[in-house]
Structure formats: C-alpha cells, structure tokens
Amino acid sequence: MVEREKIVSAVKTALEGAPKRNFSEGVDITINLKNIDMSQPKNRIDEMILLPHGTGSIAKIAVLGKGDITTKAKDAGVELVLSPQDIERLGGAPREARKIANEYRFFLADTGVMSQVGRYLGPRLGPRGKMPMPIPQGTDIQPIVDRLRKSVKIRTKDKKTFHAKVGNAAMEPAQIADNIDAVLKRVESVLEQGPLNIRSVYVKTTMGPAVKVV
C-alpha cells in the first residue's frame, strides 16, 4: 500500500510542473504491473471504481430502453436516451454508432432491450468495454447515474500498463490523492499478489511530465 503523503507529494509535483494552460487539464495515473501473466483472463482487471471526489468532469451517460426508464433517465439528467427503434437504426449506421460509443462513457439499458443492444450495438460497445449495465424495469436509476458520474472504469485486457483518470488540475492535490488511493486499493485487491504485482505508478496532467508515485 502506498503512503498517502507520498501520493500527495507526487500530485503536487505533477501539478506544479505542468505547463500553464487556459483550461483545466485532466489528471491521470499510469499503473505498470509485474510478475503476472495477462494472457490469462483471470488476471485481467475489469473494474468500476467510485472516486471519492469524482473526475472533475461530467461523465456522459446514455440510457437505452422504452417507457418508464426513459422518463427516469431524463429526470436524472442523462445526456442521451435511445429507443428500441434508435438501437435498430444504429445497427445500420456504423459511423454514428461508433461516435456514440466513443462519446459516452457509460451505458445503461432496460433488460428488455439487451438482446437488441447485443445484436445492433454490441460490435461497437463490446470491444470498448462499454456494454450497458442491465437495469430491471421499475429501478430508480438516479443513484446509479450519480455513482457513475463519479466513477472510472479500468479494463486491462492483456496489457500490463493501463491508465485511469483521477481528477483535473483545478482540484486540490489532497482530493486527487484520495482518488488515486481509491484506485490503487481496488486494483491491489484484485491482483493475485496485491501490491507485489505493481511495478510502478506515475501521475501526470494531460500534457504535463509524468511524476513517479511509487
């Protein structure tokens, strides 16, 4: 487990060393693993991680379905609602479907349309690790949306190096450090040897130099 003071120090160094911009850059960590065979599916990481202070930006969410779930989605402030007809249409519009798959971070779908989603949008969403979370009819999606807004998804596939957004440069270093700590604890919890499988961790702003955390 990495000491929190060490994380805070690295974040401060990364923020201070970043070139001044007219916008608030994102802050990311890079995690490098070791002594683990990522060709084995059981060693791959596929986790949704709630960040204590969010990412500092709005995660765009799409909801797929009909009836009650669409009303609740609009009430929850979801950016995009797709009907069954939209889903089927997108199956024949690969460019638009690809744009949606790239633009929206999280997808929720009424369980009644999941087979349609798999058929028409699976080729776009599946490879990106964005297949929708199935939502039974009658579920209050507001808490789910609120949680996703503050979450990041980590999906390693077969790579030993992966990245995660942990905030932006306008946030306090202590807040970013809390987010990094949450990510590291979750990643360590699913690795076979925990922290012993972590070779190194770096933090950086989008366009700034990387600073080693551990």
73 and 103 housed in the same domain: yes
- CA 77 to CA 55: how far, in whole Å? 18
Domains in the chain, number? 2
Structural domain containing residue 183: 4-56+150-212
Last residue of a domain, one of 125, 148, 171: 148
Contact assessment for residue 201 and residue 179, using Cβ atoms and an 8 Å cutoff: no
Cβ neighbours of 146 (radius 10 Å): 12
Place of tokens 């980590």: 154
pTM, full prediction: 0.90
Q: What pLDDT, in 10s, does the model give residues 8-30?
A: 999 999 999 988 887 889 999 99
Q: Considering the chain, what percentage of its residues have pLDDT values greater than 90?
A: 90
Last residue of a domain, one of 148, 165, 189: 148
141 and 161 housed in the same domain: no
- CA 65 to CA 84: how far, in whole Å? 6
Q: What pLDDT, in 10s, does the model give residues 63-118?
A: 999 999 999 999 999 999 999 999 999 999 999 999 999 999 999 999 999 999 99
Place of tokens 């499988």: 197
Last residue of a domain, one of 148, 175, 203: 148
Question: How much is the pLDDT for 20?
Answer: 83
CATH number of residue 142's parent domain = 3.40.50.790
Q: What pLDDT, in 10s, does the model give residues 122-140?
A: 999 999 999 999 999 899 9
